[in-house]
């Protein structure tokens, strides 16, 4: 059955002299078929800070990136498909096929050899460019960042970060992921970030942590931090952010001032 069914019963009165009420009553039944209700995506998600086990059931995405177009299995079929999307290559392929027929006046080699050379050079170029992208991805994914584990800061590759981890970012370092700003070595709990890779603006922007989390800048204090973040789902907005930090039985509102975006 493609949808839910609901049966409704009703009584319909017909005029007639045999009814003591001036008419006959007859029961009628009709079936209303309702469409399937599509499940709605949750409007927010919950993240447990400094607690990997609590976040395991959600199965958040990993932090590694991949910008390559091919892999070992898909390179040849996908690469040829991309090449024959070009009108010129497709045209010469049809000419080569026609020249291989018995009634063709020319040898198929005269058309197939040039086309094969063009495809070979193009595929080699695609392979080289994709290899450079792979190397760049590996370099970024293996960049080290300090993560709080076992009451101390431990160097860990970006690709092994998990949602909810507490990390320490030093001056002039890039953010390994989208972060919630908890504390800073500055006395007023602020930091200055550059977002030129995101919006093209070269001037530094100010971000300020919540006052309640200013003290959690050291490993000794950060290990005691246990909070719950309820925020919106990932989106492409650079200037808006809504969420709450539930910390020490208090709900603290979050804003873009506490959001540090990966560039």
pTM > 0.85:
no
DSSP 213: G
User: What was the pLDDT predicted at 108?
Assistant: 78
- pLDDT digit string (tens) for 168-227? 999 999 999 999 999 999 888 999 999 988 988 889 999 999 999 999 988 899 999 999
Same domain, 49 and 122: no
Same domain, 165 and 253: yes
Q: Which residue numbers in the chain have pLDDT < 50?
A: 1-14, 17-21, 25, 37
Same domain, 54 and 81: no
User: What was the pLDDT predicted at 2?
Assistant: 46
Cα–Cα distances in Å, from 91 out to 97, 99, 123? 10, 12, 18
Same domain, 168 and 104: no
User: What was the pLDDT predicted at 98?
Assistant: 86
In which domain, by residue range, is 241 found? Answer: 44-63+161-260
Domain count, the chain: 2
Task: Write out the two tokens for 19.
Answer: 């009814």
User: What was the pLDDT predicted at 33?
Assistant: 57
Q: Name the nearest CA neighbour of 79 among 113, 128, 138, 132.
A: 128
The domain boundary, picked from 140, 173, 197, lies at 140
């Amino acid at each position: 059955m493609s949808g839910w069914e609901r049966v409704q019963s009703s009584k319909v009165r017909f005029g007639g002299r045999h009814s003591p009420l001036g008419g006959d009553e007859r029961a009628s039944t009709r079936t209303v078929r309702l469409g399937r209700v599509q499940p709605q995506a949750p409007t927010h998600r919950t993240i447990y800070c400094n607690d990997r086990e609590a976040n395991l059931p959600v199965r958040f995405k990993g932090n590694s990136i991949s910008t390559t177009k091919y892999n070992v299995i898909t390179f040849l079929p996908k690469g040829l498909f991309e090449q024959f999307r070009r009108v010129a290559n497709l045209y010469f392929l049809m000419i080569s096929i026609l020249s291989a027929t018995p009634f063709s006046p020319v040898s198929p080699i005269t058309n197939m050899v040039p086309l094969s050379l063009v495809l070979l050079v193009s595929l080699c170029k695609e392979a080289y460019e994709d290899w450079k992208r792979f190397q760049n991805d590996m370099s970024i994914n293996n960049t080290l960042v300090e993560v709080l584990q076992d009451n101390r800061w431990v160097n860990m590759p970006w690709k092994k970060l998990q949602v909810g981890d507490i990390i320490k970012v030093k001056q002039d370092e890039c953010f390994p992921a989208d972060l919630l700003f908890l504390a800073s070595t500055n006395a007023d709990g602020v930091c200055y970030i550059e977002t030129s890779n995101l919006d093209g603006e070269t001037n530094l922007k100010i971000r300020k942590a919540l006052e309640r989390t200013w003290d959690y800048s050291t490993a000794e204090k950060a290990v005691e931090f246990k909070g719950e973040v309820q925020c919106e789902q990932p989106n492409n907005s650079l200037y808006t952010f809504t969420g709450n930090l539930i910390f020490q039985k208090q709900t603290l509102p979050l804003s873009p001032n506490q959001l540090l975006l990966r560039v």
